């Protein structure tokens, strides 16, 4: 039955590979709707425009490939002879009859059959494009960070409210089955971690060489200037320039500080931060190294959080870690990076035992064997660091390294929670809400709460002051 439904919505993988070869693209996209279905729009079909067909635009297109009823009608991108042409070509190869545009205003004036827009342009374009799309009667999925400034983000919230159209902010962890499982099941239902006392998050990432462009495909300087870019170098590396982006702490914090807010059920009380440009190889303007302290006053008491981004450390990269009086969890968008363990002295040992028995947490075979004969009251004792044999590193121990590094055996999230491309559930939630079958997981108002905090970190660095928030700061 499942196979039947799938074959209705998709062409075969072989079809796709053949078309990809013809179009000369590496975009892994199979059709959301096939050509013969094109003319028969059903009430559940959604006509979409993609604005911004760069790296993330392609990730989003790719995630749409498994979502039925999505009909791409227009691609808008100022990079005509590269991202725009390439994306339009592959969409057409799969029967999406897309029109191409350089300017979103022209697109909105000429396309009269659109239901929604996906916006994945650089951050400084988001507010203007989102507001125009909402006012033109479209629902909008807008990438994070939702705006370049807090004032712009406020206007986006107001526009969504005034037009009555949906505005989903692209903080896709809000729809991630792994994150939802952690919050709903482990934290709320089982109450595994007790009171969260501290949080720590990071996204460290190597500074890759400056992004270039094909020699035969630059954008004319006149066009670059018209859209706010000084040069191709700035256009390609916009995240690092003050007029166009907000730097890494906002780029990454837009997701991770959002998780702090969500899981702590609060917004920050205060932020202090320190930032530096420690690897100034390319003349970038934004900090590559940021350390920030975020204070929360939550319904469950005070919580101290730290958040950092560093310019290297590809080995561990990113996670959010919540430390409670009964247990700790590290979670990340990457399936391989999650570790969960009770405090050895946890009073709720039986709950942890039950959670593993129920399959809501996965234990190693070694732990599973012990469960058969153990008293559930003693389960948490297994996680005493000193009971772990000293770590031995080597080829044969690769899979043990994560646990060995922290000196504990640990539990993990079930693998079945991450079988889709990471942005797919959030897009599905957006489309299902358009169809009246769901509610947005990150509507404008909620997206704004995080924007209002994250967009203040650079100010905290620049002024050297502690930024203190009032509850009103998070409400539009």
Ligand X SMILES: NC(=O)c1ccc[n+]([C@@H]2O[C@H](COP(=O)([O-])OP(=O)(O)OC[C@H]3O[C@@H](n4cnc5c(N)ncnc54)[C@H](O)[C@@H]3O)[C@@H](O)[C@H]2O)c1
Is 56 a binder of ligand X (CB under 6 A)? Answer: yes
Is 204 a binder of ligand X (CB under 6 A)? Answer: no
Q: Length of the chain, please?
A: 476
Touching ligand X, residues 163-202 (CB under 6 A): 170, 172
Stretch that binds ligand X, among 23-31, 49-57, 257-265, 446-454 (CB under 6 A): 49-57
Is 156 a binder of ligand X (CB under 6 A)? Answer: no
Please report how close the Cβ of residue 10 comes to ligand X at its closest, in angstroms.
24
Closest among 337, 318, 338, 336 to 328, alpha carbons compared:
338
Please report how close the Cβ of residue 40 comes to ligand X at its closest, in angstroms.
31
CA distances from 314 to 15, 169, 208, 248, 310 (A): 36, 27, 11, 15, 10
Is 77 a binder of ligand X (CB under 6 A)? Answer: yes
Is 108 a binder of ligand X (CB under 6 A)? Answer: no
> Which phi and psi (to 5°) does residue 42 adopt?
-95, 165
Alpha carbon distance 119, 108 (integer Å):
13
Alpha carbon distance 57, 215 (integer Å):
22
Question: Out of 123, 258, 288, 343, which residue is the one contacting ligand X (CB under 6 A)?
Answer: 123
Stretch that binds ligand X, among 70-78, 357-365, 377-385, 466-474 (CB under 6 A): 70-78
The alpha carbon torsion through 125, 129, 130, 134 (nearest 10 deg) reads: 170
Binding mask 9-38 for ligand X (x = CB under 6 A): ------------------------------
Stretch that binds ligand X, among 10-18, 114-122, 193-201, 411-419 (CB under 6 A): 114-122
Please report how close the Cβ of residue 204 comes to ligand X at its closest, in angstroms.
16
Stretch that binds ligand X, among 64-72, 116-124, 131-139, 175-183 (CB under 6 A): 116-124
Residue environment code for 202-215, b if the CB has 16+ CB neighbours within 10 A, otherwise e: bbbbebeeeeeeee
Element (H, E) at 75: strand 70-76
**Is residue 268 within 8 Å of 468, Cβ to Cβ?**
no
Question: Out of 5, 6, 13, 55, which residue is the one contacting ligand X (CB under 6 A)?
Answer: 55
Q: What's the number of CA atoms in the CB half-sphere (13 Å) around residue 431?
A: 23
Helix axes 55-64, 424-434, angle to 10 degrees: 70
Is 29 or 380 the residue whose CB approaches ligand X more closely?
29
Please report how close the Cβ of residue 18 comes to ligand X at its closest, in angstroms.
26
Question: Out of 27, 29, 46, 53, which residue is the one contacting ligand X (CB under 6 A)?
Answer: 53
Question: Out of 64, 125, 363, 457, which residue is the one contacting ligand X (CB under 6 A)?
Answer: 125
By CB under 6 A, how many residues form the interface with ligand X? Answer: 26
Binding mask 224-253 for ligand X (x = CB under 6 A): ---x----------x------------x--
Is 58 or 328 the residue whose CB approaches ligand X more closely?
58
Alpha carbon distance 455, 424 (integer Å):
26
**The pairing of beta strand 70-76 with beta strand 99-101:** parallel
Element (H, E) at 304: strand 301-309
Which residues sit at the interface with ligand X, rule CB under 6 A? Answer: 51-57, 76-79, 83, 104, 120-123, 125, 143-145, 170, 172, 227, 238, 251
């Amino acid at each position: 039955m499942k196979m039947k439904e799938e074959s209705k919505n998709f062409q075969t993988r072989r079809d796709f590979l053949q078309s990809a070869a013809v179009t000369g693209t590496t975009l892994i996209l199979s059709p959301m709707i096939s050509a013969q279905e094109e003319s028969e729009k059903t009430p559940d079909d959604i006509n979409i425009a993609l604005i911004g067909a760069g790296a993330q635009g392609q990730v989003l297109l790719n995630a749409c490939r498994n979502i039925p009823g999505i009909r791409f009608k227009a691609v808008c991108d100022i990079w005509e002879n590269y991202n725009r042409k390439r994306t339009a070509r592959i969409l057409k190869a799969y029967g999406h009859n897309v029109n191409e545009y350089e300017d979103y205003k022209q697109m909105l004036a000429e396309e009269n059959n659109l239901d929604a827009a996906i916006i994945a342009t650089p951050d400084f374009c988001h507010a203007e494009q989102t507001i125009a799309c909402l006012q033109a009667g479209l629902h909008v999925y807008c990438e994070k960070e939702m705006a370049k400034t807090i004032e712009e983000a406020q206007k986006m919230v107001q526009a969504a409210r005034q037009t009555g159209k949906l505005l989903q902010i692209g903080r896709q962890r809000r729809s991630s089955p792994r994150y939802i499982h952690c919050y709903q099941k482990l934290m709320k239902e089982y109450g595994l971690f007790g009171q969260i006392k501290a949080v720590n998050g990071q996204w460290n990432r190597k500074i890759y060489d400056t992004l270039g462009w094909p020699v035969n495909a630059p954008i004319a300087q006149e066009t670059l200037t018209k859209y706010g870019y000084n040069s191709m170098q700035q256009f390609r590396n916009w995240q690092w320039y003050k007029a166009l982006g907000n730097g890494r702490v906002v780029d990454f914090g837009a997701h991770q500080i959002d998780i702090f807010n969500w899981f702590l059920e609060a917004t920050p009380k205060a932020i202090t931060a320190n930032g530096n440009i420690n690897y100034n190889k390319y003349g970038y303007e934004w900090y590559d190294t940021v350390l920030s302290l975020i204070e929360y006053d939550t319904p469950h008491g005070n919580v101290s959080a730290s958040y950092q981004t560093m310019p290297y450390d590809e080995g561990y990269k990113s996670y959010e870690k919540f430390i409670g009086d009964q247990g700790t969890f590290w979670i990340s968008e990457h399936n391989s990076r999650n570790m969960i363990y009770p405090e050895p002295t946890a009073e709720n040992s039986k709950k942890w035992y039950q959670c593993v028995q129920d399959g809501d947490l996965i234990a190693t075979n070694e732990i599973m064997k012990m469960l058969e004969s153990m008293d559930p009251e003693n389960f948490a004792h297994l996680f005493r660091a000193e009971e772990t044999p000293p770590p031995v590193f080597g080829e044969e121990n690769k899979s043990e390294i994560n646990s060995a590094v922290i000196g504990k055996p640990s539990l993990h999230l079930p693998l079945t929670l991450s079988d889709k491309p990471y942005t797919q559930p959030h897009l599905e939630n957006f489309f299902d809400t358009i169809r009246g079958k769901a509610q947005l997981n990150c509507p404008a108002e909620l997206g704004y709460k995080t924007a209002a905090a994250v967009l203040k970190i650079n100010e905290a660095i620049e002024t050297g002051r502690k930024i203190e928030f009032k509850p009103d700061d998070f409400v539009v």
